[in-house]
Amino acid sequence: MSWVWINGRMKPLAQAALSVEDRGLLFADAVYEVVCVVRGRAVDVEEHWRRLWRSMREIELKAPCSRAVLTLLLERVVARNRLKEGMVYLQISRGSARREHAFPDPCVPANMFLFATHGKPPPAAPKLLRAVSVADTRWRRVDIKTTNLLANCMALEEAKARGGDEVLLYDEANDLLREASKSNLWLVTNDGGLLTPPCTTNILGGVTRRALLRLAEGAGLRCLEQSFTREEAKGAKELFLTNSTGFVSVVCSLDGDAIGRRKGTASQRYPLAHRLYGLYTERMGSL
């Protein structure tokens, strides 16, 4: 049985419910985080809470509890679900109130829930993904981790209809790539350097992205937060994605064009992505 912590109580998943007037449901007036769990331990919790508090501040949502209490709730959900490998999803909305666009006045209590999803241990090597580029039609504040993800979902469905596993979103005005549906984007230059688009209001700053930047710099790699076009991505030595549950995933083709070397094993064709994947999984084991 799966257990959900919701508004102060632990309930079986089938009994967990919110009012139809929840503003997260009606307006996507909610923020969320996804925390990876490996060998029963949550990864990068404080980094997730740092981003969560920023998201709440940006949409003027008062935190319903302290970070310390939230960490305890996370641990309770992990323990109650006997979660060894997988993730915990957390969502906080502005609460339940009469359907009006203006924020409730006076304020109503926030709605908060956490639930667990069981998964598998990290694989030995990063996944290989075929990507398709789609114009970015999302709102202008994707740096806030809100539940407003319909444009992401529609772009991913378009990519799948075109034979892809993942979508890379680009700015139609200048052809610069931004990120994937739920991942940050990285390029390996021909001289072995790393590029990743800078965190603007058009990109969500990933927790794994921050961790990998530190790992890469610690390994002596040259890292630049710099944008690049679709054509530059197609000519890259390697192209890969990072997120909290997939860690590092290799983009082996973009719009049907192969990325990197054509021959050899995956680790030979994409050596730096494999090296960084190894560094990241080693780091998780030491946390």
64 C-beta neighbours (distance < 10 Å), count:
17
Could you give the residue numbers annotated as active site?
Answer: 145
Token pair, residue 60, equals: 């003027």
Q: Are 96 and 19 in contact (CB under 8 A)?
A: yes
**Cis peptide leading into residue 106 (ω within 30°):** yes
Return the structure tokens found at 151: 């444009």
